[in-house]
A = this chain, B = another copy of it.
Amino acid sequence: MPNTPSETVHTDAVAHDDAHQHSYIANNTKADYLKRLRRIEGQARGLQRMVEEEKYCIDILTQIAAMKKALGAVALGLLDEHMAHCVAGAVRAGGDEADLKLKEASDAIARLVRS
């Protein structure tokens, strides 16, 4: 596969404060997420090869369903940690930040349910 120089993903959502680092992901689970995402990247490459070689369509669909499930599982894991640390922290601190974090989390859940 050739280099894909513009692999960066830009969305409005990513326009978040980049200087703001979040250490809510424990180091051991961080390594685990990276491993799972590398595997998902490999699945995306495997899918390209399957389409390139015109593999049987149903097999490609099975791979896509597996990949969506893997992504969904990563999302649920990240959401758990986010609620247990970031949201819970804001709730304990109280004030507008708590409401904002709760609203943000429920919007994220709604997006996941629809995706």
Contacts and interface: CB of A to CB of B under 8 A. Distances in A.
Instruction: List the number of copies, as a whole number.
Output: 4
A59 to B, nearest CB: 5
Please report whether the interface of chain A is mostly helix, strand, loop or mixed according to DSSP: helix
Contact of A51 (B6, B25, B111): B25
B115 A41 contact: no
A104 B62 contact: no
Categorize the interface residue count of chain A: 35 or more
A99 to B, nearest CB: 8
Contacts of A57: 22, 24-25, 78-79, 81-82, 86
Interface string A33-52: 11001101111111111111
A19 to B, nearest CB: 11
A2 to B, nearest CB: 9
B16 A55 contact: yes
Contact of A82 (B44, B51, B58, B80): B58
